[in-house]
Each structure stands twice: as structure tokens, then as C-alpha cells.
Amino acid sequence: MQDKLQTLQDKLAQAAQGGGEKRIEKQHAKGKLTARERIHFFLDPGSFEEMGALVTHRCNDFGMEKQKIYGDGVLTGYGTVEGRLVYVFAQDFTVFGGSLSETHAEKICKLMDMAIKNGAPLVGLNDSGGARIQEGVQSLGGYADIFYRNTLASGVIPQISAIMGPCAGGAVYSPALTDFIYMVEQSSYMFITGPNVVKTVTNEEVSAEELGGAMTHAVKSGVTHFTAQNDMDCLLQIKKLLSYLPQNCEEEAAMLPYEAGQEERPALNTIVPENPNHPYDMRALIEELVDADSFYEVYAYPNA
């Protein structure tokens, strides 16, 4: 029995290394956290319960049978954020570029089913190059299963997506179906195909930032709701957003204890001008109406 337990511990330790030290160093060199680090900083300490840690792909083509890594490029599980149950998956770019395989998709689908059944928010930390080309149709079928569950969860539980790397193809279709999208500035990209494909097809040269960077989607396309300066800022913002949302469609949002204070708002007398043709700052008006420092603006784009 001890030998079997030791074998299990060895495999779990191997799974925790993802794609290995060299690839982890490359991830850090780009200013990005690894998938496991993102979950560590996002969830309450010690609350993460991982599922499918030892899953590997089933592909035997193109030499893939010799490249099997535990977890298969995605961490899935559940934990708590400020004591509230949350389901989360984080794609691991150090393992096959975070590409989605059949088993990778099955892990995410199982997590989504549990989130819907138990009525808790689903948070996806996306860092993926898209479909795993070696698996072809099986990979694309996995995306279809995920999209279907996105529609089932819509309006039932909060779905939050964070684009935290160069996501392309199928890796951005699912986030676009969710309720809120975050993008990390200068390190995350969201496009159907990358600049090289665009140049080949249209002979147009465009940078990754111009094609699908955070500010492109924040200012021009309107696809992303929030931008973040780095991975940590993104995770903190998601936690802030969760504090405003209910667990599911049948629950009320969390309430804070009311404390009586200075209820007079003399500034309201001067913000709105008497002349209806004169403009005024709507943000200043909102700040006077709501609790101090509580206004969290969607589509704000302060860096635009």
C-alpha cells in the first residue's frame, strides 16, 4: 500500500510541474503567472479541490502517444472566494500551449455541469492557442460541448472569463458567450486567427495588439468588459466583481451591514446644471449617489 501511495504522490507532484521548469520560466519571463499560480492567488488559501489532476489525452497520432502530461493542459476544480463557492478552470500554456484536446474539453464540461447543478459561479482563466490540431475533429467536438453548456448556464449562474494569454480560434468563442470578459493589457490577445494568417490571406500586416489586444477589444469591438494591468490585477478585479453578483439566478446578491452616516449630498445641487443644454459629468453624479468607493464601472476603459 505504501508503494501505491508513493506512486500517487509522485504523479501528483509531476502534474504540479505542468510543462516543466523551462516552460514555466518562459511564462514568468513574459510577465505571466502559471495556471496553478493563478488559482492559488484567486481562491481562498487551502480551499482549492482539484479534479482530474492525472488525466492525460487519448491521442496516438503524430507521436502524441510519447507526449503525455498529467492534467492535459487545464486545471479544473472548485474552491471559495471570500467564503463563497466558485468553480474555476485555468488553462496551462506550458502544456501544449494550453490547446484543447478531447479530454481537456471533458474536464471543463464536467466542471460546468457541476457549477450549473450546484448553482455557483463559473470562472474561466483562458490561456490557450485554440484547438489541438493533432486531434482534429475530436478537439473541435470538445469545443461544441463547451459552447452548448455556455448556453445552458446563461442566465442561471454567473459566467466570467479572463483572457490571460494569446487566445485564438475556439479559445475565444466560449468566452464571448459568457457574461463578463477580462483581458490583461499587453499580454493577452483575442482573435479568430493570428497576424501571420491575416498576412497570408489578405497580405495585410497587423500586430497582435492591433488585431486582438486588450485595448482593441475594449475601445473598438466592445468584446471585453474590463481590462487589467497584469495577472494579479485581473484576479483581484474578478474577486471584486463576484462580490456584486449573486451565486445564481434564484439567490439575492450579498448584502453589507448598513451603517448610518452623513446622508446629505450637497454636491448634487451643483453637478447637474440648471441649463439642460449644458453637459455634466455623469460619473461625478453616480459617485455622489452610491456608497463611497463602491462604483465598479463596466466598459470604463480608463487607459483608452
Mention the CATH class of domain 2-242: alpha beta
- pLDDT, one tens digit per residue, over 12-60 is 888 888 888 999 999 999 999 999 999 999 999 999 999 999 999 888 8
**Chain mean pLDDT for the chain:** 91
Query: Domain ranges in the chain?
Result: 2-242
Q: What does the pLDDT average to over 126-139?
A: 90
Alpha carbons 6 and 3: distance in angstroms, whole number:
5
Q: Quick: pLDDT tens for 66-120.
A: 888 899 999 999 999 999 999 999 999 999 999 999 999 999 999 999 999 999 9
263 pLDDT more than 80: no
- 162 pLDDT above the threshold of 70: yes
Predicted pLDDT at 22: 93
212 vs 158, higher pLDDT? 158
- The half-sphere exposure of 221 on its side-chain side, counting CA atoms within 13 A, is 15
Between the alpha carbon of residue 103 and those of residues 130, 181, 225, 267, 280, the distances in Å are 14, 25, 30, 58, 54
DSSP 135-193: GTHHHHHHHHHHHHHHHHHTTTS-EEEEE-SEEETHHHHHHHHSSEEEEETTT-EEESS
Over residues 192-218, mean pLDDT = 88
- DSSP-assigned states of every residue in 2-68: HHHHHHHHHHHHHHHTTT-HHHHHHHHHTT---HHHHHHHHSPTT--EEE-TT------STTGGG--
Residue 83's closest CA among 243, 231, 249? 243
pLDDT of 257 above 50? yes
pLDDT, residue 262, reads 67
Q: What percent of the chain stands above pLDDT 90?
A: 59
Distance between CA 150 and CA 250 in Å, rounded? 18
At 10, give phi and psi (nearest 5°).
-65, -40
- More confident position, 257 or 287: 287
223 in helix, strand or coil? coil
